Amino acid sequence: MRLDIASSQGVRSTGSAAPILTSEKINVIYPLPSGDVPAVVDFGIDIGEQEFVGLVGESGSGKSTAALALMGLVRPPGKIVSGEVRFHGQSLLSKTDDELRDIRGREIGLIVQNSRSALNPLLRVGVQIANVYLAHHKASKAEAMQRAVDSLETIGIPDARRRANSYPHQLSGGMAQRILIAMATINEPKLLIADEPTTGLDVTVQAQFLDALQTRVRESRSAVLFVTHDLGIVAHYCDRVAVMYRGRVIEEAGVRDLFANPRHPYTQRLLASSSNRRQSFRERASGTPEQ
């Protein structure tokens, strides 16, 4: 798939396939007594079927807020003040909360960055995964639990039935994060938004998590918007990448094009300052140079 490179604000790359999600001119503010603070400015991105898209930028660039805005999930006091998001032709931001809840978890999945805060410490993880399935399907608890176990097996968790009976505190950080993959993909959504899901994991565990995610989304034929600050991950897993700076997308391109020929000065500095450009993600994960 050939992709064009966008080199100025507000210009986006699009692939040859029709996008499943389109968005444009999303603006998010945080009201303060001294005035509104813009967090996201005229954000727009298109995501094609089965496409793995990276959204990168330094901390505070607005990338997580922009990704959550696509699902109408900006946390108060933040507010989406304008913009349009269309998913399979449906206007998401004009829907009611109940209508959005029906889409979230079923058609659009979310993986957050902190599994410890996302998982309920009082419930076994299998029950939590099964509850996501029950929220969108008419099924018995036994059927939902079997689907939860199947979902764990699909992402390569050994002894899945025993793991399903574990509480979150009994799992390692990497295992708990993989539970979130099972939870987010049990309904085989067409789009998965992953908001810095490898934060806090060591690089070897990151590789295991990302391999499990990649396998799962390929099997379910999902598209992915992957929010991260790690350019090594983007280079290894993503098809296309958008770069954010001060709330705006300032460049968007195919991954190979962006790493070979960054157009925007900020992108150039971002790549130059990153050790990930000199050492691939796989080299960091294995501790040895790739052959």
Q: What is the CATH number of the domain that holds 238?
A: 3.40.50.300
Assess if residue 112 is contained within a domain.
yes
Burial of residue 32, with CB atoms counted within 10 A of its CB: 0-12 exposed, 13-18 middle, 19 or more buried: exposed
Mean pLDDT of 48-70: 94
Q: Please, are residues 28 and 40 in contact by the beta-carbon 8 Å criterion? A: yes
150/105 Cα distance (integer angstroms): 17
Mean residue pLDDT of the chain comes to: 87
Give domain status of residue 236, yes or no: yes
Signed CA dihedral, 128, 132, 133, 137: sign only: positive
Check residue 10 and give its pLDDT. 38
- Cβ(26)–Cβ(66) below 8 Å: yes
Query: How much is the pLDDT for 284?
Result: 54
> Domain for residue 40, yes or no?
no
Q: What separation in angstroms does the CA of 237 have from each of 8, 52, 184, 209, 212?
A: 25, 7, 19, 12, 12
In SS3 terms, the chain reads as CCCCCECCCCCCCCCCCCEEEEEEEEEEEEEECCEEEEEEEEECCEEECCCEEEEECCCCCCHHHHHHHCCCCCCCCCEEEEEEEEECCEECCCCCHHHHHHHECCCEEEECCCHHHHCCCCCCHHHHHHHHHHCCCCCCHHHHHHHHHHHHHHCCCCCHHHHHCCCHHHCCHHHHHHHHHHHHHCCCCCEEEEECCCCCCCHHHHHHHHHHHHHHHHHHCCEEEEEECCHHHHHHHCCEEEEEECCEEEEEEEHHHHHHCCCCHHHHHHHHCCHHHCCCHHHHHHCCCCC
Say if 207 falls within a structural domain. Answer: yes
Q: Is residue 235 part of a domain?
A: yes
Whether the per-residue pLDDT at 290 is higher than 60: the answer is: no
Residue 190 clears pLDDT 80, i.e. is over it: yes
Beta bridge partners of 32: 35
Output the pLDDT for position 279: 53
Closest by CA position to 183, among listed 122, 116, 131: 131
Please give the biggest Cα pair distance in the chain.
57
Question: For the chain, how many structural domains are there in total?
Answer: 1
Q: Please calculate the CA angle 186-189-195 and round it to the nearest 5 degrees.
A: 90
Residue range 240-244: average pLDDT? 97
Place of tokens 């490898």: 198
Nearest to 162 by CA among 151, 175, 147, 149: 149
Cis preceding linkage at 33, omega within 30: no
Confidence band for 17, pLDDT divided at 50, 70 and 90? low
Stretch among 6-15, 61-70, 102-111 having the lowest mean pLDDT: 6-15
Q: Which residue has the higher pLDDT, 208 or 143?
A: 143
225 inside domain: yes
User: Band of the pLDDT at 4, cuts 50, 70, 90?
Assistant: very low
At residue 291, does pLDDT exceed 70? no
145 has pLDDT over 70: yes
Q: Supply the range of the domain harboring residue 199.
A: 49-64+99-280
In a domain, 246, yes or no: yes
Which pLDDT band, with edges at 50, 70 and 90, does 216 fall under? Answer: confident
Let me know if residue 88 belongs to a domain: no
